[in-house]
Amino acid sequence: MTDKADLLALLREGTTYISGQELSEHFGVSRTAIWKAIRTLKEDGYEIEAVPNKGYRLVSTPDIMSYSEISSRLGTGYVARELYYYDKVDSTNVRVRQIADTASDGTLVVSDMQEAGRGRRGRGWNSPAGTGIYMSLLLKPDIMPSDAPMITLIMALAVAGAIRNTTGLDARIKWPNDVVINGRKTCGILTEMDMESDYIRDVIVGVGINVNQPDTGSFPEEIRGTATSLKIEAGETVRRSALVAEVMNLFEGYYDSFLGNGDLSGLRQEYEKLLVSIGTEVRVLDPGGEYSGISGGIDDRGELLVKMPDGEVRTVYAGEVSVRGIYGYV
Ligand code: BTN
């Protein structure tokens, strides 16, 4: 039968009605089969108008997270083409780890909720159902382990760009792992790699985005002062599947540029445009000692450039440190 994702994509393209006849010719199936597929979509929550002698029209798409909703919006070659959608997992990073040996490069796991979402530095990641995006991407790049942190920056660029494209919000990057809006965190990235002596077996890039939490009261108390969601900022519900697909669409282009150049030289300008702290004073929490300076851009390897009071420019390696604004989180 007609693939739900293809049918959705076609309905979404149409500004007017598409007749059952056209659809059945397009997919090479009977009109009854089309009618049945439309009925399943309606059961899933899509509002589809059916007018005799005119055909079908997609009136509205609710915030549905599903395999079809995501895959019907993908424009990628290989990223997220192997896609797994779950209503519930412990952690999408863990789920990807379980299938990493057999799954292909670019495999994406998305879940509506996580029972044991993981954040950086051993923290958890609050992952209630129906509100956020929890996803992990499996990559198998032929690069040095020391190059892997650049992938986190590429994902942050893709998430910030996708939020901007789908909502118009002024999403910015807080180097190296977070995406912020109006100084509050809306996305965190947890990159984990599996190494064999000197080479990378795989890299798992886990992305958590606060999307439809209605107010800051929805967050655990300890992050209420620093977290936000797209809904809080935009004042309206955001379709998570469309955002997932847009992140993947952007990521593939950026990632290919990185693999082609071997570094971020092709992305630096675009990245710096979205970097939140350029020209402001930051505190670098280096395990070897804390210091403050003026944050600049990044170099071709994605290291943050921080100008010290004596004019010396230090490069901050993404792996080791946290950077904080002098007056707070950003
Ligand atoms: C951070 O601490 O800022 C990083 C948070 C990363 C959360 C995401 S949600 C999807 C993926 N699965 C996990 O368990 N964690 C990451």
In the chain (330 residues long), the average pLDDT of successive 10-residue segments reads 79 88 94 93 88 92 89 96 97 98 98 97 94 98 94 98 97 96 97 91 98 96 96 95 98 98 98 92 87 94 95 85 70
Nearest residue (by CA) to ligand 1, atom 2, is: 119
Q: Is the CB of 180 under 6 A from ligand 1?
A: no
Ligand 1: distance of its center to the CA of 303 in Å? Answer: 22
- Cα(152)–Cα(192) distance, integer angstroms: 10
Check if 136 has its Cβ closer than 6 Å to any atom of ligand 1: yes
* From 97, 137, 207, 209, mutation site for ligand 1 pocket: most ligand atoms within 8 A of C-beta: 207
- CA atoms of 290 and 222, how far apart (whole Å): 24
Q: Which helix (H) or strand (E) holds 174?
A: strand 171-174
| d(C-alpha 235, C-alpha 203), whole Å | 35
| Domains located in the chain, CATH noted | 4-60 (1.10.10.10), 67-274 (3.30.930.10), 281-323 (2.30.30.100)
222 CA → ligand 1 middle, Å:
16
Measured in degrees and rounded to the nearest 5, phi and psi for residue 204 equal: -115, 120
Gap between the Cα atoms of 26 and 56, Å rounded: 14
- Is residue 125 within 6 Å of ligand 1 at its C-beta? yes
pLDDT at 324: 78
DSSP 127: -
Nearest CA to ligand 1 atom 11: 206
135 contact partners, CB below 8 Å, separation of at least 6: 92, 108, 109, 110, 111, 206, 207, 244
- d(CA 127, ligand 1 centre) in Å: 9
**Ligand 1 within 6 A of 191 CB?**
no
- Cα 225 from Cα 161, distance rounded (Å): 24
Q: How far apart are the first and last CA of the chain?
A: 51
Residue 26, C-beta contacts closer than 8 angstroms, at least 6 positions apart: 10
Rounded CA separation 177/188 (Å): 6
Spatial distance between the Cα atoms of 191 and 255, rounded to a whole number of angstroms: 15
* Matching residue, tokens 């790049």: 141
For the CA of 132, the closest atom of ligand 1 is 9
pTM (predicted TM-score): 0.87
Provide the pLDDT for residue 1.
46
Is any atom of ligand 1 closer than 6 Å to the C-beta of 206? Answer: yes
Give the separation between CA 305 and CA 160, rounded to whole angstroms: 21
What is the Cα–Cα distance from 49 to 61, expressed in whole angstroms? 12
pLDDT number for residue 14: 77
pLDDT of residue 320: 59
CA of 120 to the centre of ligand 1 (A): 7
Do residues 125 and 188 lie in contact, with contact meaning Cβ atoms separated by under 8 Å?
yes
Q: Are strands 184-196 and 199-210 parallel, antiparallel or unpaired?
A: antiparallel
Find the 189 Cα to ligand 1 centroid distance in Å: 6
* Ligand 1 pocket: which of 118, 243, 244, 329 to mutate (most atoms within 8 A of CB): 118
